[in-house]
A = this chain, B = another copy of it.
Amino acid sequence: MKLQVPKGCRDFFPAEMAIRNWIVDRWQDVSVRNGFVEYDGPIFETLDLYRIKSGDEIVSQLFHFEDRGGREFAIRPEMTPTLARMVAARANSLSKPIKWYSRPRLCRAERPQRGRLREFFQWNIDILGEESEIADAECVFVAIDFFRSMGLTAEQVEIKLNSRAIVSSLLHSAEIADEQLPAVYAALDKRDKLSIEAFAEMIGELGLTEKQQDVLLHMGEAKGEDGFARVESLLAGNEAGTNHCRSLRRVFAILKSMGVEEYCTYDMGVVRGLAYYTGMVFEAFGKGGLKRAICGGGRYDRLVSDLGGPPMGGVGFATSDVVVQDVLAEFNLLPDLSSAGGFFVIDSDAERFDDVLTIVSALRNKGINAQFSYKRQGVNKQFKQATAMGAGRVVIIESDYVTSKAVSLKDMKSGKQVTINVEEWLKNPFCEVPE
Protein backbone atom coordinates (compact mmCIF):
# COMPACT_ATOMS: atom_id res chain seq x y z
CA MET A 1 0.00 0.00 0.00
CA LYS A 2 1.37 3.37 -1.04
CA LEU A 3 0.75 6.25 1.31
CA GLN A 4 0.95 9.89 0.34
CA VAL A 5 1.86 13.15 2.00
CA PRO A 6 -1.33 14.73 3.45
CA LYS A 7 -2.92 17.15 0.99
CA GLY A 8 -1.90 20.75 1.54
CA CYS A 9 1.35 19.66 3.22
CA ARG A 10 4.79 19.40 1.67
CA ASP A 11 7.51 16.81 1.67
CA PHE A 12 10.94 18.39 1.80
CA PHE A 13 13.25 16.21 -0.27
CA PRO A 14 16.88 17.35 0.05
CA ALA A 15 16.67 19.94 -2.76
CA GLU A 16 13.58 21.60 -1.25
CA MET A 17 14.98 21.25 2.25
CA ALA A 18 18.15 23.10 1.24
CA ILE A 19 16.07 26.06 0.03
CA ARG A 20 13.94 26.03 3.19
CA ASN A 21 17.06 25.94 5.38
CA TRP A 22 18.62 28.75 3.37
CA ILE A 23 15.59 30.99 3.93
CA VAL A 24 15.19 30.07 7.59
CA ASP A 25 18.93 30.64 8.16
CA ARG A 26 18.64 34.14 6.62
CA TRP A 27 15.80 34.82 9.08
CA GLN A 28 18.14 33.84 11.89
CA ASP A 29 21.13 35.85 10.64
CA VAL A 30 19.09 39.00 10.14
CA SER A 31 17.33 38.63 13.49
CA VAL A 32 20.58 38.16 15.39
CA ARG A 33 22.42 41.06 13.77
CA ASN A 34 19.47 43.30 14.59
CA GLY A 35 19.67 42.28 18.24
CA PHE A 36 16.77 39.83 18.47
CA VAL A 37 16.88 36.58 20.44
CA GLU A 38 14.91 33.48 19.53
CA TYR A 39 12.07 31.88 21.49
CA ASP A 40 9.73 29.02 20.71
CA GLY A 41 6.73 27.30 22.24
CA PRO A 42 5.18 23.88 21.70
CA ILE A 43 3.64 22.88 18.36
CA PHE A 44 0.23 22.65 20.06
CA GLU A 45 -1.38 24.89 22.66
CA THR A 46 -4.54 24.66 24.72
CA LEU A 47 -7.54 25.37 22.49
CA ASP A 48 -8.61 28.08 24.95
CA LEU A 49 -5.56 30.19 24.08
CA TYR A 50 -6.94 30.66 20.57
CA ARG A 51 -10.58 30.95 21.68
CA ILE A 52 -9.68 33.85 23.98
CA LYS A 53 -7.92 35.78 21.25
CA SER A 54 -10.20 35.04 18.33
CA GLY A 55 -13.51 33.66 19.61
CA ASP A 56 -15.21 30.32 18.95
CA GLU A 57 -15.28 30.78 15.19
CA ILE A 58 -11.50 30.17 15.09
CA VAL A 59 -11.96 26.52 16.13
CA SER A 60 -13.03 25.31 12.69
CA GLN A 61 -9.86 26.79 11.21
CA LEU A 62 -7.63 24.77 13.57
CA PHE A 63 -6.45 21.20 13.72
CA HIS A 64 -7.67 20.38 17.22
CA PHE A 65 -7.77 17.24 19.33
CA GLU A 66 -8.18 15.93 22.86
CA ASP A 67 -5.73 13.91 24.91
CA ARG A 68 -6.81 10.87 26.92
CA GLY A 69 -7.62 13.17 29.84
CA GLY A 70 -10.12 15.11 27.70
CA ARG A 71 -7.97 18.25 27.55
CA GLU A 72 -8.47 20.22 24.34
CA PHE A 73 -5.48 21.28 22.23
CA ALA A 74 -4.86 22.75 18.78
CA ILE A 75 -1.81 22.81 16.52
CA ARG A 76 -0.65 26.44 16.48
CA PRO A 77 -1.99 28.44 13.52
CA GLU A 78 0.01 31.57 14.44
CA MET A 79 2.69 32.52 16.96
CA THR A 80 1.25 35.68 18.54
CA PRO A 81 -0.86 33.95 21.23
CA THR A 82 2.16 31.89 22.28
CA LEU A 83 4.32 35.02 22.37
CA ALA A 84 1.77 36.90 24.48
CA ARG A 85 1.37 33.91 26.83
CA MET A 86 5.13 33.57 27.34
CA VAL A 87 5.74 37.28 27.80
CA ALA A 88 2.79 37.52 30.22
CA ALA A 89 4.26 34.66 32.28
CA ARG A 90 7.55 36.51 32.84
CA ALA A 91 6.50 40.11 32.20
CA ASN A 92 8.20 41.47 35.31
CA SER A 93 11.51 39.63 35.06
CA LEU A 94 12.18 40.22 31.35
CA SER A 95 14.29 43.34 30.72
CA LYS A 96 12.79 45.80 28.25
CA PRO A 97 12.74 46.27 25.36
CA ILE A 98 12.00 42.62 24.67
CA LYS A 99 13.35 41.93 21.18
CA TRP A 100 12.30 38.41 20.26
CA TYR A 101 12.08 36.43 17.05
CA SER A 102 10.75 32.99 16.16
CA ARG A 103 10.64 30.73 13.12
CA PRO A 104 7.63 28.51 13.86
CA ARG A 105 6.04 25.77 11.83
CA LEU A 106 2.31 26.60 11.69
CA CYS A 107 -0.77 24.66 10.56
CA ARG A 108 -4.17 25.86 9.43
CA ALA A 109 -7.15 23.65 8.59
CA GLU A 110 -7.58 25.12 5.11
CA ARG A 111 -9.60 23.10 2.61
CA PRO A 112 -7.02 21.18 0.60
CA GLN A 113 -6.73 23.01 -2.73
CA ARG A 114 -4.03 24.32 -5.01
CA GLY A 115 -1.94 27.08 -3.45
CA ARG A 116 -3.59 26.93 -0.04
CA LEU A 117 -1.15 25.22 2.26
CA ARG A 118 -2.11 23.56 5.51
CA GLU A 119 1.43 23.84 6.83
CA PHE A 120 4.11 26.50 6.42
CA PHE A 121 6.97 28.24 8.21
CA GLN A 122 6.75 31.76 9.49
CA TRP A 123 9.25 34.37 10.65
CA ASN A 124 8.05 36.53 13.53
CA ILE A 125 9.81 39.68 14.73
CA ASP A 126 8.49 41.48 17.82
CA ILE A 127 9.64 44.34 20.03
CA LEU A 128 7.69 44.63 23.29
CA GLY A 129 7.77 47.12 26.12
CA GLU A 130 8.95 50.03 23.99
CA GLU A 131 6.48 52.66 22.80
CA SER A 132 8.77 54.93 20.81
CA GLU A 133 8.90 55.35 17.05
CA ILE A 134 12.44 53.95 17.16
CA ALA A 135 10.98 50.49 17.77
CA ASP A 136 8.44 50.97 14.96
CA ALA A 137 11.20 52.02 12.59
CA GLU A 138 13.59 49.27 13.66
CA CYS A 139 10.88 46.72 12.97
CA VAL A 140 10.49 48.02 9.41
CA PHE A 141 14.28 48.16 9.08
CA VAL A 142 14.57 44.45 9.94
CA ALA A 143 12.21 43.57 7.10
CA ILE A 144 14.27 45.68 4.70
CA ASP A 145 17.54 44.24 6.06
CA PHE A 146 16.14 40.80 5.23
CA PHE A 147 15.26 41.89 1.69
CA ARG A 148 18.75 43.33 1.22
CA SER A 149 20.35 40.16 2.57
CA MET A 150 18.63 38.19 -0.17
CA GLY A 151 19.56 40.65 -2.89
CA LEU A 152 16.11 42.26 -3.27
CA THR A 153 16.56 45.92 -4.20
CA ALA A 154 14.26 48.92 -3.81
CA GLU A 155 13.48 48.47 -7.52
CA GLN A 156 12.06 45.03 -6.71
CA VAL A 157 10.23 45.46 -3.39
CA GLU A 158 8.66 48.32 -1.49
CA ILE A 159 7.31 48.82 2.00
CA LYS A 160 4.04 50.67 2.30
CA LEU A 161 3.57 52.38 5.65
CA ASN A 162 0.52 53.84 7.30
CA SER A 163 -0.86 54.31 10.79
CA ARG A 164 -4.02 52.89 12.27
CA ALA A 165 -4.07 55.90 14.58
CA ILE A 166 -4.16 58.24 11.56
CA VAL A 167 -6.89 56.16 9.95
CA SER A 168 -8.86 56.27 13.22
CA SER A 169 -8.55 60.06 13.37
CA LEU A 170 -9.88 60.34 9.83
CA LEU A 171 -12.74 57.95 10.59
CA HIS A 172 -13.56 59.83 13.77
CA SER A 173 -13.57 63.10 11.77
CA ALA A 174 -16.17 61.45 9.54
CA GLU A 175 -18.09 60.55 12.71
CA ILE A 176 -17.76 56.81 12.22
CA ALA A 177 -18.33 55.17 15.62
CA ASP A 178 -15.71 53.11 17.47
CA GLU A 179 -17.84 49.96 17.36
CA GLN A 180 -17.93 50.16 13.56
CA LEU A 181 -14.14 50.35 13.27
CA PRO A 182 -13.28 46.61 13.19
CA ALA A 183 -15.64 46.02 10.26
CA VAL A 184 -14.37 49.17 8.54
CA TYR A 185 -10.72 48.08 8.92
CA ALA A 186 -11.53 44.63 7.56
CA ALA A 187 -13.21 46.26 4.54
CA LEU A 188 -10.41 48.80 3.95
CA ASP A 189 -7.86 45.96 4.10
CA LYS A 190 -9.59 44.37 1.09
CA ARG A 191 -9.74 47.60 -0.96
CA ASP A 192 -6.70 46.96 -3.14
CA LYS A 193 -7.74 43.35 -3.76
CA LEU A 194 -11.21 44.27 -5.12
CA SER A 195 -12.62 46.20 -8.05
CA ILE A 196 -13.93 49.67 -7.17
CA GLU A 197 -17.48 48.41 -7.71
CA ALA A 198 -17.06 45.40 -5.41
CA PHE A 199 -15.40 47.58 -2.78
CA ALA A 200 -18.22 50.15 -2.98
CA GLU A 201 -20.74 47.35 -2.53
CA MET A 202 -18.89 46.04 0.54
CA ILE A 203 -18.76 49.56 2.01
CA GLY A 204 -22.46 49.96 1.30
CA GLU A 205 -23.27 47.07 3.63
CA LEU A 206 -21.65 48.62 6.70
CA GLY A 207 -24.58 50.87 7.65
CA LEU A 208 -22.75 54.13 7.01
CA THR A 209 -24.06 57.45 5.66
CA GLU A 210 -23.35 58.31 2.04
CA LYS A 211 -20.84 60.90 3.09
CA GLN A 212 -19.04 58.37 5.28
CA GLN A 213 -19.03 55.86 2.43
CA ASP A 214 -17.51 58.51 0.21
CA VAL A 215 -14.70 59.09 2.71
CA LEU A 216 -13.90 55.36 2.74
CA LEU A 217 -14.10 55.11 -1.05
CA HIS A 218 -11.43 57.74 -1.58
CA MET A 219 -9.29 57.30 1.50
CA GLY A 220 -6.99 54.69 -0.03
CA GLU A 221 -6.04 57.06 -2.83
CA ALA A 222 -3.65 58.98 -0.58
CA LYS A 223 -0.28 57.54 -1.56
CA GLY A 224 3.30 58.79 -1.48
CA GLU A 225 4.52 62.13 -0.17
CA ASP A 226 1.65 64.04 -1.83
CA GLY A 227 -0.91 61.71 -0.32
CA PHE A 228 0.63 61.99 3.13
CA ALA A 229 0.66 65.82 2.87
CA ARG A 230 -3.03 65.72 1.89
CA VAL A 231 -3.85 63.57 4.94
CA GLU A 232 -1.92 65.98 7.14
CA SER A 233 -3.89 68.96 5.85
CA LEU A 234 -7.18 67.06 6.32
CA LEU A 235 -6.22 66.56 9.99
CA ALA A 236 -4.71 70.03 10.47
CA GLY A 237 -7.30 71.12 13.04
CA ASN A 238 -7.25 67.78 14.88
CA GLU A 239 -4.62 67.66 17.63
CA ALA A 240 -4.57 63.89 18.07
CA GLY A 241 -4.53 63.34 14.31
CA THR A 242 -1.71 65.85 13.86
CA ASN A 243 0.32 64.05 16.53
CA HIS A 244 -0.22 60.70 14.83
CA CYS A 245 1.01 62.19 11.55
CA ARG A 246 4.06 63.65 13.29
CA SER A 247 4.78 60.24 14.79
CA LEU A 248 4.70 58.52 11.40
CA ARG A 249 6.91 61.30 9.97
CA ARG A 250 9.41 60.40 12.71
CA VAL A 251 9.36 56.74 11.63
CA PHE A 252 10.19 57.83 8.08
CA ALA A 253 12.99 60.09 9.37
CA ILE A 254 14.61 57.24 11.35
CA LEU A 255 14.40 54.95 8.32
CA LYS A 256 16.13 57.70 6.33
CA SER A 257 18.94 57.89 8.89
CA MET A 258 19.26 54.11 8.60
CA GLY A 259 19.73 54.49 4.87
CA VAL A 260 16.69 52.54 3.71
CA GLU A 261 14.24 55.32 2.79
CA GLU A 262 14.27 54.28 -0.86
CA TYR A 263 12.34 51.11 0.10
CA CYS A 264 9.63 53.03 1.97
CA THR A 265 6.50 54.86 0.86
CA TYR A 266 3.34 56.20 2.45
CA ASP A 267 0.14 54.37 1.53
CA MET A 268 -3.26 55.02 3.11
CA GLY A 269 -4.44 51.83 1.39
CA VAL A 270 -2.58 49.70 3.95
CA VAL A 271 -4.59 49.27 7.15
CA ARG A 272 -4.13 45.51 7.94
CA GLY A 273 -7.22 43.40 8.49
CA LEU A 274 -6.64 42.27 12.07
CA ALA A 275 -8.46 44.10 14.87
CA TYR A 276 -5.52 44.36 17.24
CA TYR A 277 -3.32 46.95 15.50
CA THR A 278 -3.32 50.38 17.14
CA GLY A 279 -0.48 52.42 15.57
CA MET A 280 1.89 52.17 12.63
CA VAL A 281 1.11 49.39 10.13
CA PHE A 282 3.06 48.25 7.10
CA GLU A 283 3.14 45.73 4.30
CA ALA A 284 5.84 44.86 1.77
CA PHE A 285 5.05 44.13 -1.85
CA GLY A 286 7.09 42.92 -4.76
CA LYS A 287 7.03 45.22 -7.77
CA GLY A 288 6.69 42.24 -10.11
CA GLY A 289 3.62 40.14 -10.82
CA LEU A 290 3.15 38.76 -7.30
CA LYS A 291 0.07 40.42 -5.80
CA ARG A 292 0.23 39.09 -2.22
CA ALA A 293 1.99 41.06 0.55
CA ILE A 294 5.45 39.61 1.23
CA CYS A 295 5.26 40.57 4.88
CA GLY A 296 3.09 42.69 7.11
CA GLY A 297 2.87 43.95 10.64
CA GLY A 298 2.42 46.90 12.90
CA ARG A 299 2.02 48.24 16.39
CA TYR A 300 -0.36 46.54 18.81
CA ASP A 301 -0.82 47.90 22.31
CA ARG A 302 -3.34 45.63 24.04
CA LEU A 303 -2.45 42.10 22.91
CA VAL A 304 -0.36 41.07 25.93
CA SER A 305 -2.90 42.38 28.45
CA ASP A 306 -5.77 40.71 26.56
CA LEU A 307 -3.97 37.39 27.08
CA GLY A 308 -3.45 37.85 30.80
CA GLY A 309 -0.29 39.94 30.92
CA PRO A 310 0.36 43.48 32.07
CA PRO A 311 -0.32 46.43 29.75
CA MET A 312 2.62 46.35 27.36
CA GLY A 313 2.83 47.75 23.86
CA GLY A 314 4.49 45.95 21.02
CA VAL A 315 5.33 46.13 17.36
CA GLY A 316 6.05 43.25 15.05
CA PHE A 317 5.74 41.63 11.67
CA ALA A 318 5.64 38.21 10.05
CA THR A 319 6.37 36.58 6.74
CA SER A 320 6.29 32.98 5.49
CA ASP A 321 8.67 30.67 3.68
CA VAL A 322 6.12 30.26 0.90
CA VAL A 323 5.81 33.92 -0.08
CA VAL A 324 9.56 34.53 0.33
CA GLN A 325 10.28 31.67 -2.02
CA ASP A 326 7.74 33.00 -4.52
CA VAL A 327 9.25 36.49 -4.60
CA LEU A 328 12.81 35.13 -4.84
CA ALA A 329 11.79 32.87 -7.70
CA GLU A 330 10.14 35.79 -9.49
CA PHE A 331 13.34 37.84 -9.37
CA ASN A 332 15.60 34.88 -10.04
CA LEU A 333 17.30 35.18 -6.67
CA LEU A 334 16.97 31.60 -5.40
CA PRO A 335 20.50 30.36 -4.69
CA ASP A 336 22.04 27.32 -6.37
CA LEU A 337 22.55 24.94 -3.44
CA SER A 338 23.18 21.79 -5.44
CA SER A 339 26.92 21.51 -4.83
CA ALA A 340 27.99 19.84 -1.63
CA GLY A 341 31.59 21.09 -1.85
CA GLY A 342 34.01 19.44 0.54
CA PHE A 343 36.51 16.67 -0.02
CA PHE A 344 36.25 13.28 -1.68
CA VAL A 345 38.97 10.76 -0.83
CA ILE A 346 39.90 8.06 -3.37
CA ASP A 347 42.09 4.97 -3.09
CA SER A 348 44.06 4.07 -6.19
CA ASP A 349 44.19 0.54 -4.87
CA ALA A 350 41.70 -1.32 -2.63
CA GLU A 351 44.62 -2.04 -0.28
CA ARG A 352 44.64 1.66 0.59
CA PHE A 353 40.99 1.74 1.75
CA ASP A 354 42.02 1.86 5.41
CA ASP A 355 43.97 5.02 4.64
CA VAL A 356 40.88 6.51 2.98
CA LEU A 357 38.98 5.94 6.22
CA THR A 358 41.77 7.44 8.33
CA ILE A 359 41.97 10.58 6.20
CA VAL A 360 38.20 11.02 5.96
CA SER A 361 37.94 10.71 9.72
CA ALA A 362 40.75 13.25 10.23
CA LEU A 363 39.02 15.78 7.96
CA ARG A 364 35.63 15.31 9.62
CA ASN A 365 37.27 15.72 13.01
CA LYS A 366 38.42 19.15 11.82
CA GLY A 367 34.78 19.93 10.97
CA ILE A 368 35.36 19.48 7.24
CA ASN A 369 32.89 17.76 4.90
CA ALA A 370 34.60 14.58 3.63
CA GLN A 371 33.21 11.75 1.50
CA PHE A 372 34.38 8.47 0.01
CA SER A 373 33.04 5.67 -2.14
CA TYR A 374 31.45 2.71 -0.35
CA LYS A 375 32.45 0.52 -3.31
CA ARG A 376 36.06 -0.50 -3.95
CA GLN A 377 36.33 0.39 -7.63
CA GLY A 378 38.69 2.05 -10.09
CA VAL A 379 39.96 5.60 -9.67
CA ASN A 380 37.90 6.80 -12.65
CA LYS A 381 34.65 5.48 -11.22
CA GLN A 382 35.40 7.03 -7.84
CA PHE A 383 36.22 10.32 -9.61
CA LYS A 384 32.88 10.17 -11.36
CA GLN A 385 31.14 9.76 -8.01
CA ALA A 386 33.07 12.75 -6.60
CA THR A 387 31.94 14.87 -9.55
CA ALA A 388 28.33 13.74 -9.20
CA MET A 389 28.39 14.74 -5.51
CA GLY A 390 29.79 18.17 -6.35
CA ALA A 391 33.01 17.66 -4.39
CA GLY A 392 35.25 20.73 -4.30
CA ARG A 393 38.52 18.85 -3.87
CA VAL A 394 39.53 15.28 -4.59
CA VAL A 395 42.32 13.52 -2.71
CA ILE A 396 43.92 10.44 -4.27
CA ILE A 397 45.91 8.08 -2.11
CA GLU A 398 48.65 6.80 -4.39
CA SER A 399 49.50 3.09 -4.48
CA ASP A 400 52.99 3.74 -3.07
CA TYR A 401 51.44 5.66 -0.16
CA VAL A 402 52.82 3.27 2.47
CA THR A 403 56.37 4.32 1.71
CA SER A 404 55.84 7.79 0.14
CA LYS A 405 53.01 9.16 2.33
CA ALA A 406 52.09 11.16 -0.76
CA VAL A 407 48.58 12.15 -1.80
CA SER A 408 47.45 13.95 -4.94
CA LEU A 409 45.15 16.88 -4.31
CA LYS A 410 42.96 18.12 -7.14
CA ASP A 411 40.97 21.34 -7.07
CA MET A 412 37.85 20.45 -9.06
CA LYS A 413 37.06 24.04 -9.99
CA SER A 414 40.45 25.09 -11.36
CA GLY A 415 41.41 21.58 -12.45
CA LYS A 416 44.84 22.11 -10.89
CA GLN A 417 46.53 19.21 -9.13
CA VAL A 418 49.49 18.84 -6.78
CA THR A 419 51.20 15.91 -5.02
CA ILE A 420 51.92 16.56 -1.38
CA ASN A 421 52.92 14.82 1.85
CA VAL A 422 49.79 13.78 3.76
CA GLU A 423 50.84 15.22 7.14
CA GLU A 424 51.86 18.51 5.55
CA TRP A 425 48.56 18.73 3.68
CA LEU A 426 46.36 17.88 6.70
CA LYS A 427 47.79 20.91 8.52
CA ASN A 428 45.97 23.06 5.97
CA PRO A 429 43.56 21.00 3.85
CA PHE A 430 42.40 24.11 1.96
CA CYS A 431 45.96 25.04 0.94
CA GLU A 432 46.47 26.67 -2.43
CA VAL A 433 46.88 24.28 -5.34
CA PRO A 434 49.54 25.73 -7.65
CA GLU A 435 49.65 25.34 -11.45
Contact = CB atoms under 8 A, between A and B. Distances in A.
A130 B373 CA distance: 11
Nearest to A74: B65
Interface string A148-186: 110000000000000000000000000000000000000
Contacts of A257: 353-354, 357-358, 361
Taking the full assembly, how many copies of this chain does it contain?
Answer: 2
B44 A107 contact: yes
B44 A259 contact: no
A389 B357 CA distance: 45
Interface of A: 1-6, 9-14, 17-18, 20-21, 29, 32-35, 37-46, 48-49, 52, 60, 63-65, 67-69, 71, 73, 75, 85-86, 88-90, 95, 97, 100, 105, 107, 109, 111-112, 118-119, 130, 132, 134-135, 141, 145, 148-149, 254, 257-260, 307-308, 340, 342, 353-354, 357-358, 360-365, 367-371, 374, 388-389
Contacts of A65: 63-65
A361 B35 contact: no
A340 B33 CA distance: 10
Dominant secondary structure at the A interface: mixed
Contact of A68 (B111, B371, B389): B111
Contacts of A40: 11-12, 17, 20
Contact of A42 (B5, B46, B111, B370): B5
A358 B33 contact: no
A119 B358 contact: no
B44 A75 contact: yes
Contacts of A361: 141, 257-260
Contacts of A357: 254, 257-258
A213 B254 CA distance: 79
Contacts of A71: 6
Contact of A37 (B14, B109, B374): B14
A229 B357 CA distance: 26
A358 B141 CA distance: 12
Nearest to A81: B3
Contact of A35 (B12, B49, B369): B369
B141 A43 contact: no
A14 B360 contact: no
Contacts of A149: 367
